[in-house]
Amino acid sequence: MLSGRNEIEARISAFVDGWLDNATEVWGDDFAIGAFALIFEVKFPPDEEGSLGSTDISWTCSDAREWVQAGLFRRALVKAEASEYEPPSDEEDS
């Protein structure tokens, strides 16, 4: 589990940095980023009584309009489920 805010920020920053480094390879030099969202799997450790840990999902979006958020998530889901789409590998599974 991540131990604190600094570690969480460093992990997110490294991921976004890597994404930005590869963006021009995908779209060239002439593009702009509009709305963007972050989706998080939030993990909780087992409780003191020995039950299994749990997870939750949380997100935040740069655009507060719900229809924009729904559209971003819907389009990402379609791309993620498409057989020709290959998501970036996640070397760290924690």
Q: Are 1 and 94 in contact (CB under 8 A)?
A: yes
The reported pLDDT for the residue numbered 17 is 94
Q: How far apart (Å, rounded) are the C-alpha atoms in residues 67 and 54?
A: 29
User: Is pLDDT above 50 for 24?
Assistant: yes
Q: How many CA atoms are closer than 13 Å to the CA of 76, on its beta-carbon side?
A: 12
Mean model confidence pLDDT for the chain: 85
pLDDT tier for residue 44 given thresholds of 50, 70 and 90: confident
pLDDT at 85: 55
Query: What is the dihedral angle through the alpha carbons of 10, 85, 25, 90, rounded to the nearest 10 degrees?
Result: 20
Instruction: Answer yes or no: is pLDDT of 88 > 80.
Output: no
Higher-pLDDT residue of 52, 15: 15
Give me the pLDDT at residue 39, please.
92
